[in-house]
Structure 1
């Protein structure tokens, strides 16, 4: 360990950051994304999950609150003998742990806590090549006596646009079902208020996916499953939900339509003194239940679920390992070797979200700036991004300021710097790689027709030269130069 800070330190030669005081000034988060599926998690356990678009296709409900930071996906632990309840991460119970640490690393986050003689290690990750989120939980009884515990997850389904401002309306369109054999809950929604690229589609089309949450338990156990927030919270509180205190079992009536859909899955287990037990949880999403079942079954055993996080981290080590910065400033090295490129790729290019702006959209200038991270690591990533952005240009050289993929939600503005990032990015790519073939690649315009990337770049420059003052200076547009100026 080195580089001690007020709330934690870089560890593992800078690859990971360990937070040892959860009371950070603002939520300190990790944006974990494999290019399609992703989640954000704070040092308290707050956050949400999504597929493809972190605003229009959000799987789990979340409330952006930088002060309380309580909303998210939780793991409860109940001592069934004493009735004491705590959580594997600070949220939502906020107990005074005997030990707490949160390890953020590229590809995963791990909470290590100890309370009431029970040590818990909860690792969250995303499969590198599947639309599945995996939680690996290990419990160790250090109390010196046998313990009976109830371990239960909790999340609320969103399944669409976030924040869902008409929450009580949108929940009516979510339906759930429970597979007793697999301890797996499926969730669907028959309304998705996002216009697609199909001309005749209306705003309230059905959500074209199916999501699932599953619990896997090692050893003997008694199952717990609830699918309705009204049943789970009941007359209790989020810190002490009524159903959690009531006992194990599957509440079948809590699944179906017209409830307040949540997923609370788990088990009652017993631990001898110094005995450990492993549980795993999966969250998955796909275009149909059959495909989803196949993907989740790949991680449907304790052994497979616990293998994922090390693999995901190694993928990131390989991805970020092309360039090494070495100076006499250790923090500077850590940021440049791992954290700045990781955040640019996982958070900005793939997730397009953080804890403070849940966007989901591509920004013409934003992601072209971000994509330069690929230059020393994998230039093909930069080339791919340049072609994507060229497709967002009009014949007059203007571009979409931002756009949401897989929808017709776009913003066509008069910003005069946006379109100039295309020729700048192309020139930087060629300077770095010597690859002139990108200039001949054909890509369409938004308003019809197609041209080479070279012609797209020329149209950007022509537009800038047409819009100049008498002294030859380019005119300022709206939200110009990184949104800093308007005219």
Structure 2
């Protein structure tokens, strides 16, 4: 069965059948704020770190597949449907998903009403924008009800799924006009909050999941949507969500744009509050004002397209084979940049919870993108080297939020030190920047332990030659060189690579 096709002119993959064999996903964002989105609008968002700054909740390996995302429910008479088909799975008259360079467009049509959603993260912005365009394609006026929906994660994606005795007591929101703020633990120990807004007055809202969905319902049949009215619920503990309710009428042929924003804000400690108990919303209002019209959103989207035009324009081939050109000029380079941003720490196959950025992975990834963004490659090398131990050993992973080694995984992967040499050499060969070798870099991020990067490379090499097996070959540690080779797990004898 054919599920879609490549649109090389627009650098997009077009999906024409929502029931793909697995969710086919795209990655939004290229610095600090990131989202994963499937072809049916499933997925999640986070700031820098998919474990410690998870913004929206997602269910892995669940039934049904790909549960949780940024959903729009349309109630048109007695028919309830979603532009991305899920979660209601109402058969659509037309469906299309376009995965592009850091953006996705999902379009659905039912009974003469078209809903087209553009999802992207603007450059240098800690927010995901959705421009939802609603079009009445009939020759009669059409009135319908629209419900937005996201589900907040309680920041730490691991404890969000573990400590329910605590979680069910801490969820907290604040509603201000058309914006719903997620401020769980803000007054106790955090300096950050998230928000979900729409650029028009709303007719109602919900922030309590049980009220909106119903205790024994799924995402496919929320009580509020089925009944066609919100409850204006205010979450206090339990599971906070954000849902806007709008009543819309479109004339024949009329289109209307709605701008939704999922944003993240950090406030300095002495600027946390507007007044007692009221969070400082000034940064959020300023962010919303940057994207509160279609024109502003279109400008930001054009800037994102230009950014990728420039990145992909630095290297290209013309082989005479359109398939080879497509992979080299578009999708391979795009994949290399996405891999750099995430280092495989977050996807639909890595939850973003059990690991951080890989030491080995990130050094390997440098080869794929260093020609595109050499300055960020240089920064990444310094970040990686800063987690190394004085004896040349390494943490196998580090958390991108703190840039500190991941104690949960630890070290003992004896090949990791050599990959720092590999990544640094790749950077120097591409840029000619030998000054990086003189850059002061700490061990284990301890102030005062700084030595030159060149010294880090020396101890990396020494760590390998000082850990040899009985035949003088490098000693295998934990999952060395290949994550499936973990031979010492099954033996008390030293094994060699």
- 1:29-428 correspondence runs (5 A): 29-65=25-61, 68-79=65-76, 82-163=77-158, 164-166=160-162, 168-169=164-165, 170-180=167-177, 183-190=178-185, 206-217=189-200, 223-234=203-214, 237-248=218-229, 251-252=231-232, 254-288=233-267, 289-350=281-342, 352-359=345-352, 361-407=356-402, 409-410=406-407, 411-428=409-426
| 1:402 to partner: Cα distance | 0.5
Structure 2: how far apart are the matches of 1:422 and 1:336?
Answer: 26
Instruction: Report the 3-state secondary structure (helix = DSSP H, G, I; strand = E; otherwise coil) of the residue aligned with 2:319.
Output: coil
What is the aligned counterpart of 2:23 among 13, 23, 27? 27
Distance 1:22 1:442, change over 3 A: same
| 1:248 to partner: Cα distance | 5.0
Distance 1:34 1:211, change over 3 A: same
Give the conservation status (yes or no) of the 8 Å contact 1:93–1:239.
yes
Give the conservation status (yes or no) of the 8 Å contact 1:92–1:239.
yes
| 1:347 to partner: Cα distance | 4.4
| 1:104 to partner: Cα distance | 0.3
Give the conservation status (yes or no) of the 8 Å contact 2:257–2:294.
yes
Give the conservation status (yes or no) of the 8 Å contact 1:107–1:309.
no
Distance 1:59 1:401, change over 3 A: same
Structure 1: how far apart are the matches of 2:47 and 2:288?
Answer: 15
Give the conservation status (yes or no) of the 8 Å contact 1:395–1:445.
yes
| 1:247 to partner: Cα distance | 4.5
Structure 1: how far apart are the matches of 2:318 and 2:484?
Answer: 34
Give the conservation status (yes or no) of the 8 Å contact 2:363–2:422.
no
Structure 1: how far apart are the matches of 2:149 and 2:86?
Answer: 11
- Counterpart for residue 197 of structure 1: none
Q: Over aligned residues, Cα RMSD in angstroms?
A: 2.3
| 1:432 to partner: Cα distance | 2.2
Cα deviation, 1:90-130, whole Å, max 9, x if unaligned, reads: 21111211111100011210001111111111111111111
- Counterpart for residue 476 of structure 1: 476
| 1:89 to partner: Cα distance | 1.0
Distance 1:312 1:421, change over 3 A: same
Residue 428 of structure 2 corresponds to residue 434 of structure 1? no
Distance 1:347 1:223, change over 3 A: farther
Superposed structure 1 runs of 4+ greater than 4 Å apart? none
Cα deviation, 1:238-275, whole Å, max 9, x if unaligned, reads: 323222244456x44x1242243110113101012211
Cα deviation, 1:385-415, whole Å, max 9, x if unaligned, reads: 1111110111101011112134564333211
Cα deviation, 1:59-105, whole Å, max 9, x if unaligned, reads: 111111376223211011111xx221101212111121111110001
Distance 1:179 1:228, change over 3 A: same
| 1:34 to partner: Cα distance | 2.7
Give the conservation status (yes or no) of the 8 Å contact 1:209–1:286.
yes
Q: Where does the alignment leave 5 or more consecutive residues of structure 2 unmatched?
A: 268-280, 489-497
Give the conservation status (yes or no) of the 8 Å contact 1:34–1:350.
no
Instruction: Report the 3-state secondary structure (helix = DSSP H, G, I; strand = E; otherwise coil) of the residue aligned with 1:177.
Output: strand
Q: Where does the alignment leave 5 or more consecutive residues of structure 1 unmatched?
A: 193-204
Q: TM-score, normalised by structure 2?
A: 0.87
Give the conservation status (yes or no) of the 8 Å contact 1:39–1:48.
yes
Instruction: Report the 3-state secondary structure (helix = DSSP H, G, I; strand = E; otherwise coil) of the residue aligned with 1:152.
Output: strand
Give the conservation status (yes or no) of the 8 Å contact 1:32–1:347.
no
- Counterpart for residue 450 of structure 2: 450
Structure 1: how far apart are the matches of 2:485 and 2:251?
Answer: 65
Structure 2: how far apart are the matches of 1:91 and 1:347?
Answer: 27
